[in-house]
C-alpha cells in the first residue's frame, strides 16, 4: 500500500478489505490469545519522534508475528509544517490526514479533531503517544463512546494519577510512603479510592492563600516546596526556607499556572529522582519492567535518564517496584505508566513524587 493522503475516494470500508489476508491473520492471532477485539487499523495522533518510534515498533512486530510489516494499517496526522519538511512519520504511515497547523490545540492536542478523524477514517484504535492529548481524560471518554479503542489508560485513573494532589492521596491510601505535605492528614479508603476522593478531601489537601501556605509550611517544617498541581516542566514550583519567602513566592506559583490547586510538600534534601516503569493490562495484571535514575536535571526538567538504578540497594529497588504496582492496582490503571520517587541518600528511605 502506498502512502497517500485521505480524500473522498478512500473510505473506511475500503480499509477493511484492502488487507483482507492480513486481517484474517490478525483475527486468528487475537482469538488464539483470548483477545476480545482485533485491531486492524490505528490512528497515530502524534508526530515527530513519538509517532516514528510507535510506527516502527508496530512494523517490526507485525513482520515478526505475521511476516507482513503492514498487517496493521497506520494512519497519520499531518500539519502543513509536517508536510513542508516531509516528516518521517508521514512517510512511514500507510495514509495520512491533513490537519490545521499552528499550536497543538489545533491538531495533536485537539480532542474533537482527533475524534472526527478517527470516525471519518473508521480506524479501530487511536494511539495518542505522549504529550499533546495523551493525558487529557476527555480523549478516552470521547473515543470509547464511539466504540473506538483508546490505546492508553481509562479516563478515571488517568485523571486521578495525572493530578499531583489526587495521586498523593491515592499513594497514601495504597501504603506508598509520601513526604510530609499539606495533605498528610487526609486519609481516604484504599478500596474504591477513585470514588472516595471527594471534593472535600481534595480541598483539605490544598492551600488557597498566602497565610494558609505559611501555616502549612510551619507544620511541615522548612525547607519546603510550594507546588502547583497542574504544573510541570519547572513551572509552578518554588523552594522556600522561611515565612518571608513563602509570602514573596506564593503568588508567583499561582501566576505561573493560573487556576491550579496549590499544595505544600517538605523538601527532600540530598535525594535522587528515581522512577519505575509499569505495564498494566485490563485484567489487573501489573508488571514492573525497569527502573531508572532521573536525577540529572536542569530547572526541574530531566536531562539524562540512567537505568537500571544503582544508587539504591536491590532490596529498595524491589520495594519501589512493589509500591508502584500497588498504586497502579489501586486505580485499575491500564497501559504504560511511570511512578516517580524521591530517594534519600541520607536515610535510604523513598517517597512517592
Examine residue 156 and state whether it is found in any structural domain, yes or no: no
Residues 98 and 35 in one domain: yes
Of 232, 266, 300, the one marking the end of a domain is: 266
Residues 140 and 86 in one domain: yes
Residues 249 and 278 in one domain: no
Q: Give 14's pLDDT tier (boundaries 50, 70, 90).
A: very low
All 3 cell numbers of residue 7? 480524500
Residues 258 and 276 in one domain: no
Residues 278 and 183 in one domain: no
Residues 16 and 102 in one domain: yes
Residues 276 and 228 in one domain: no
Q: Taking 50 as the threshold, does the pLDDT of residue 11 lie above it? A: no
Examine residue 157 and state whether it is found in any structural domain, yes or no: no
Q: What average pLDDT does range 86-98 have in this prediction? A: 96
Q: Taking 50 as the threshold, does the pLDDT of residue 76 lie above it? A: yes
The number of domains in the chain is 3
Query: Per-residue b/e over 174-187, b at no fewer than 16 CB within 10 Å?
Result: bebebbbbbbbebe
Examine residue 109 and state whether it is found in any structural domain, yes or no: yes
Residue-number span of the structural domain to which 60 is assigned: 4-151
Q: Taking 60 as the threshold, does the pLDDT of residue 202 lie above it? A: yes
Q: Taking 70 as the threshold, does the pLDDT of residue 298 lie above it? A: yes
Examine residue 165 and state whether it is found in any structural domain, yes or no: no
**What CATH number does residue 306 fall under?**
3.30.470.20
Beta bridge partners of 41: 73
Spatial contact of 124 and 302, defined as CB atoms under 8 Å apart = no
Q: Give 201's pLDDT tier (boundaries 50, 70, 90).
A: confident
Q: Taking 50 as the threshold, does the pLDDT of residue 7 lie above it? A: no
Examine residue 312 and state whether it is found in any structural domain, yes or no: yes
Q: Give 160's pLDDT tier (boundaries 50, 70, 90).
A: confident
- Terminal Cα distance for the chain, rounded: 46
Of 249, 266, 283, the one marking the end of a domain is: 266
Spatial contact of 1 and 94, defined as CB atoms under 8 Å apart = yes
Percent of the chain with pLDDT over 90: 77
Write phi, then psi, for 278 (nearest 5 degrees): -120, 155
Long-range contacts of residues 210-219, Cβ cutoff 8 Å, at least 24 apart: 210/246, 210/247, 210/250, 210/251, 213/246, 213/250, 213/262, 213/264, 214/243, 214/246, 214/247, 216/182, 216/264, 217/243, 217/246, 217/264, 218/243
Q: What average pLDDT does range 265-274 have in this prediction? A: 93
Q: pLDDT tens digit string along 96-129?
A: 999 999 999 999 999 999 999 999 999 999 999 9
Query: Per-residue b/e over 257-286, b at no fewer than 16 CB within 10 Å?
Result: beebbbbbbbbbeebbbbbbbbebeeeeeb
Examine residue 296 and state whether it is found in any structural domain, yes or no: yes
Residues 194 and 287 in one domain: no
DSSP state of 104: G
Examine residue 297 and state whether it is found in any structural domain, yes or no: yes
Of the ranges 186-190, 222-226, 253-257, 325-329, which one carries the lowest mean pLDDT score? 186-190
**What CATH number does residue 215 fall under?**
3.30.1490.20
Examine residue 348 and state whether it is found in any structural domain, yes or no: yes
Q: Taking 70 as the threshold, does the pLDDT of residue 243 lie above it? A: yes
Amino acid at each position: 500500500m502506498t502512502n497517500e493522503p485521505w480524500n473522498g475516494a478512500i473510505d473506511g470500508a475500503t480499509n477493511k478489505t484492502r488487507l483482507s489476508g492480513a486481517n484474517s491473520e490478525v483475527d486468528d492471532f487475537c482469538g488464539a490469545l483470548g483477545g476480545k477485539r482485533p485491531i486492524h487499523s490505528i490512528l497515530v495522533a502524534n508526530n515527530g519522534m513519538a509517532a516514528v518510534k510507535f510506527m516502527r515498533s508496530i512494523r517490526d512486530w507485525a513482520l515478526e508475528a505475521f511476516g507482513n510489516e503492514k498487517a496493521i494499517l497506520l494512519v497519520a496526522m499531518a500539519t502543513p509544517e509536517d508536510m513542508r519538511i516531509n516528516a518521517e512519520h508521514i512517510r512511514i504511515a500507510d495514509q495520512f490526514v491533513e490537519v490545521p497547523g499552528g499550536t497543538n490545540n489545533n491538531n495533536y492536542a485537539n480532542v474533537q479533531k482527533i475524534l472526527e478523524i478517527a470516525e471519518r477514517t473508521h480506524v479501530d484504535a487511536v494511539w495518542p503517544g505522549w504529550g499533546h492529548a495523551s493525558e487529557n481524560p476527555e480523549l478516552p471518554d470521547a473515543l470509547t463512546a464511539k466504540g473506538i479503542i483508546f490505546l492508553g489508560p481509562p479516563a478515571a485513573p488517568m485523571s486521578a494519577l495525572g493530578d499531583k494532589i489526587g495521586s498523593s492521596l491515592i499513594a497514601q491510601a495504597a501504603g506508598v510512603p509520601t513526604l510530609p505535605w499539606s495533605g498528610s492528614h487526609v486519609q481516604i479508603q484504599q478500596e474504591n479510592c477513585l470514588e472516595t476522593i471527594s471534593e472535600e478531601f481534595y480541598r483539605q489537601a490544598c492551600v488557597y492563600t498566602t497565610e494558609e501556605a505559611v501555616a502549612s509550611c510551619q507544620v511541615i517544617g522548612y525547607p519546603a516546596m510550594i507546588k502547583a498541581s497542574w504544573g510541570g516542566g519547572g513551572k509552578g514550583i518554588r523552594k522556600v526556607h522561611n515565612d518571608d519567602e513563602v509570602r514573596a513566592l506564593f503568588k508567583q506559583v499561582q501566576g505561573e499556572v493560573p487556576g491550579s490547586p496549590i499544595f505544600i510538600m517538605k523538601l527532600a534534601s540530598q535525594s535522587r529522582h528515581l522512577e519505575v516503569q509499569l505495564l498494566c493490562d485490563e485484567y489487573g495484571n501489573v508488571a514492573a519492567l525497569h527502573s531508572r535514575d532521573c536525577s540529572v536535571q536542569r530547572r526541574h526538567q530531566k536531562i539524562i535518564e540512567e537505568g537500571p538504578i544503582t544508587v539504591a540497594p536491590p532490596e529498595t529497588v524491589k520495594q519501589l517496584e512493589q509500591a508502584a504496582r500497588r498504586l497502579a492496582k489501586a486505580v485499575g490503571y491500564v497501559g504504560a505508566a511511570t511512578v516517580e520517587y524521591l530517594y534519600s541518600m541520607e536515610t535510604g528511605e523513598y517517597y512517592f513524587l
